[in-house]
Structure 1
Amino acid sequence: MSTFHKTFDEVNEDDLKFFIESGATEGLQLEFKETISNNISLVEEVAAFANTQGGDLFIGVKEREGTPIEVTGIDINPDQEILKYKQWVETNTDPALTNILYRHISLTGGGHVIHIRVPRSWNGPHMVKNFKFMLRTASAKVPAGTSDIRRMMNVRDHFLDQYNRFRVQRIEKTLNIYKQETPFVLVHFLPTSAFNIESNYPIVERRSSINLSVLGGSGYNQGINAHGLYYQSIGTNGYRGHTQIFRNAIIEQVSNMSFNYRKSYEEPRKEFFSTTHFENSLRDSILNQIRNYEQLNMQDPFYIFVNLIGASGVIGHSYGAYYISAPQAIDDDLLQLPETMIDPIANLDLEVILSTIINYLWNAFGFVSKPEQ
């Protein structure tokens, strides 16, 4: 039993009482503390959650052998206590854990319970400054062994291997089934939990609140398919792109709208890529996908992967830019830009994220960064 599935701000005193009434016990994602004896003990608890599956820690709940028996609360200033806990965690973990959520639950009889929510980290493993790597077991924190540390370090590489296989399958389907002509942009929004076997979101059930506009275009009347929700755009010059949101919350966007396209089927396509149009489209898309994930209560960090398919010979263009030398053509038919990760819990600096992606794109056109305008 856990509250980790609930929205952070919705957890309340009734949930704490229910733990006691139902005979709940501490588990993989749940821990109770009446008080905090020292800072390293707290930091180890938080790091163990972050290095495993994430979890909720409640301070101000008395337990006996892992079973909560009384909501005692704390009487000291909860805001000052939270600030102290936050400083302890951030200064005693490496890499620093900065995306932890803290709040206090006011009790009807007086006092407060401190609620700390620890998301699973995808930037670990996190070492406590006492040189321990901690993991969470069924009901306690334990030091990680050498094999555990090696496994945690391999998580990201395994994730990227899985994505590359997924990307190849989706490119083949886009070319052979959807008959998308090249060149086109393929963008994937990929939650860090996407390839977990239990990852499944109510995509179809919440379709009325999901926006599946095509990258650089519009469209809101999505259809349902075996994977989840789907929208495609077909214009006078043929297939323009599609957006698919999968049941594991992967979002796929295919679009050729940032490329200069032929005036008729008899004329060859002019291979110019408008980075201005793409940058504006991607900005709108990121904000839209964040809203979609909020509707699904998907709180995991997610990666953005940008791919240009059939890109060989494409030349970059930016409206109003001053070129010292003309952009060179891309010399890769399949251009995959480095991934960028967004943590929805952390403060989002959208322009930094965009500039990172766009500058890499301009590297492919022979520039150190985006030309000045």
Structure 2
Amino acid sequence: MTLRHISLDAITEADLQRLIQDQVVEKRDIDYKAATYGSRDQDYGEFLADVSSFANTAGGEIVIGMTEQAGVPTGLSPLQNDPDAEILRLENCARSGLQPRIFGFAVRAVPVAAGGHVLVLRIPRSYNQPHRIIRQGSGNHRFFARSSAGKYEPNVDELRALFTRVPQLADRIRDFRFDRIAKIIGGDTPVPLMGTRPIILHVAPLSAFEGTQSFCLDINQAPAQFFTAFPPIGTQVGDFRINVDGALVLSNRGADGRTHRAYVQAFHNGIVEAVDSTFAMGEGTSRNPFRLTSLRTEATIVRASHSYMQSLQARDAPPPYVLLVSLIGVRGLPYSFAMGPNTLFEDEAGTLDRDQFHFTELLIEDVPVDPYEYAKLLRPLLDQIANAAGRARTPSFDPAGRFTVRI
């Protein structure tokens, strides 16, 4: 067992000692170094090669301040330098020395009781690869990958695979999305649904599209806590169960005792599918027609997707995530825009001109804890939804870029 199952901020000296006790050997996703990287060009080149090799392969950790023999950790060798300054130096080097930039790269100084600290560098598996070294004098334009024996320069065939990996991933995402949309429209859902005008959210870790079983579906110890982490859109949990696809969370049953308004399907691979079948407001009558508002639509998307991403992170399905939003059965519906917290201008409503909207996939590489900071990442998506109703952009951000809708 390495450190990958532990949040970077939660790693302690005891976790480092456990690596030694368990003789966790250096391999593709972990490397040990007794001393930190130097400041010469060749030292920076070594650092950039190490970091990029992890990002271009499966991700992992570099533990600086630990001795090893034949790849087996033998003891701690705490660093005595200024940890903050060293973290800043390494982060700046990674930021400026690699192209494209690696999102999610982080460093933590783990204090040691006897004095000093050990640095743990966490490099995520990149979905924007391959990364190459661009720092002058540091092996410019070179690519690196990793195997169980350490880093190496990939051959032409391996490089070709790295360059084609991202387009293939995009195709898999789109194939999954439209397969699921077709099933939902066709009534092939986990439970019968009340309505025919749903909003559909998919929150998916990119690792899910590579066959990785990354979702912790162990509900034996605290089932209620598990299922309440994935509530249906706009309501509380009415029922839940395990099914062949993973975990299913349901709203309360309708008056007919058979249909449900909404559900969340958490798949084994970490993908979350949330469907609210009666998202359009109204009754479909002349006195109370169906309609949508930016106030409710945007708040729902931000609140629900942020909640699902946080729940996935807590269950070993880390980012990056792709967020997919679709509206179904909405042709001819008015879409009113919120100009303030409690004000709707119906006379400024646009009319949705098609039955289905499948908005552009949005990649979220890091999830802010603050939902209002998270909302800023969703602005391109929210602008596109406003475009569907005839506006150039959403009115839900103030001149300073703050999201003004209550979440």
What aligned pairs does 1:158-177 form with structure 2 within 5 A after superposition? Answer: 158-174=168-184, 175-177=186-188
Q: Deviations over 1:145-169 (max 9, x none)?
A: 3333332233332223223332333
Q: Deviations over 1:245-293 (max 9, x none)?
A: 11211111111343134268xx899342222111111222123213312
Shift in alpha-carbon separation, 1:34–1:114, aligned structure 2, 3 A = same
- How many Å separate the matches in 2 of 1:121 and 1:78? 26
TM alignment of 1:294-333, pairs within 5 A: 294-319=313-338, 320=343, 327-331=350-354, 333=355
Paired residues of 2:351 and 2:389 also in contact (CA < 8 A)? yes
Contact 2:105 2:121 in 1 (8 A): yes
CA distance in 1, matches of 2:312, 2:26: 29
Alignment of 1:203-222 (within 5 A): 203-205=217-219, 207-210=223-226, 211=228, 212-219=230-237, 221-222=239-240
Shift in Å, 1:29 = 0.4
- Specify whether residues 133 and 347 from structure 1 end up closer, same or farther in structure 2 by C-alpha distance, changes over 3 A only: farther
CA shift, 1:137, in A, is 1.3
- Give 1:262's match in structure 2, choosing from 275, 280, 283: 283
Q: Any stretches of 5+ residues in structure 1 without a counterpart?
A: none
SS state at 1:186 partner: strand
- Over residues 129-148 of structure 1, what are the superposed CA-to-partner deviations in whole Å (9 max), with x where a residue is unaligned? 12112211113111233333
2:292 maps to what in 1?
273
> Partner letter of residue 260 of structure 1?
M
Residue 104 of structure 2 contacts residue 366 of structure 2 at CA under 8 Å; is this kept in 1? Answer: no
Q: Which residue of 2 aligns with 1:131?
A: 141
1:234-254 CA deviation, whole Å, 9 max, x = no partner? Answer: 445964221111121111111
Pair 1:54–1:148, CA change in 2 (3 A) = same
Counterpart residue type for residue 377 of structure 2: I
Structure 1 residues 355 and 322 mapped into 2: Cα distance closer, same or farther (>3 Å)?
farther
Partner of 1:365: 389
- The yes-or-no answer on 1:339 pairing with 2:361 is yes
User: Is residue 378 of structure 2 the alignment partner of residue 354 of structure 1?
Assistant: yes
Matched, 1:285 2:325: no
C-alpha distance in structure 2 between counterparts of 1:364 and 1:150, whole Å: 38
1:87-119 per-position Cα deviation (integer Å, ceiling 9, x unaligned): 111111112224212111222332221111111
Contact 2:103 2:365 in 1 (8 A): no
Cα 1:149–1:79 shift into 2, 3 Å: same
User: Which of 42, 50, 66 in structure 2 is aligned with 1:45?
Assistant: 50
CA displacement, residues 168-206 of structure 1 (integer Å, 9 cap, x when unaligned):
332343332344442211110000111333414232415
RMSD: 2.8
Q: Aligned partner of 1:230: which letter?
A: L
Indicate the larger mover: 186-195 or 72-81: 72-81
2: CA distance, partners of 1:269 / 1:353: 34
Three-state SS of the structure 2 residue aligned to 1:102 is: strand
Which stretch of the first structure deviates more once superposed, 50-59 or 4-13? Answer: 4-13
Q: What SS does structure 2 have at the residue aligned with 1:39?
A: helix
Residue 324 of structure 1, CA deviation: 8.6
For 1:324 and 1:371, the matched residues in 2 are separated by: 15
Deviates more, 1:270-279 or 1:199-208: 199-208
Confirm whether residue 251 of structure 1 aligns to residue 256 of structure 2.
Answer: no
**Distance change >3 Å, CA 218–CA 15, structure 1 → 2:** closer
Show the counterpart of 2:116.
111
Q: CA deviation at 1:302?
A: 0.8
Offset from partner CA, 1:311-370 (integer Å, 9 cap, x none):
333332224355896523323x33210111223466773221332222101111222112
Q: What letter is aligned with 2:363?
A: M
Instruction: Decide whether aligned partners of structure 1 residues 256 and 274 sit closer, same or farther in structure 2, where only a CA change above 3 A counts.
Output: farther
Q: Which amino acid aligns with 2:266?
A: I
Cα drift, residue 58 of structure 1: 0.7
Matched residues in 2 for 1:324 and 1:91: separation?
A: 50
Partner of 1:65: 70
What TM-score, normalized to structure 1?
0.88
Mean Cα deviation higher: 234-243 or 129-138: 234-243
Residues 1:145 and 1:346: Cα distance change in structure 2 (over 3 Å): farther
Q: Which residue of 2 aligns with 1:231?
A: 249
* Per-residue deviation, 1:21: 4.1
Q: Which moved more, 1:40-49 or 1:106-115?
A: 106-115
Indicate if the aligned counterparts of 1:309 and 1:334 stay in contact, CA closer than 8 A.
Answer: yes
Residues 99, 346 of structure 1: 8 Å contact kept: no
Contact kept in structure 2, 1:183 and 1:309, CA below 8 Å: yes
d(CA) in 2 for partners of 1:176 and 1:306? Answer: 19
Deviation at 1:308, TM superposition (A): 1.6
Paired amino acid for 2:223: R
For 2:314, what is the secondary structure of its paired residue?
helix
In the alignment, is the contact (CA less than 8 A) between 2:302 and 2:378 conserved in 1?
Answer: yes
Question: Hey, what does 2:24 align to over in structure 1?
Answer: 24
TM-score by length of structure 2 reads 0.81
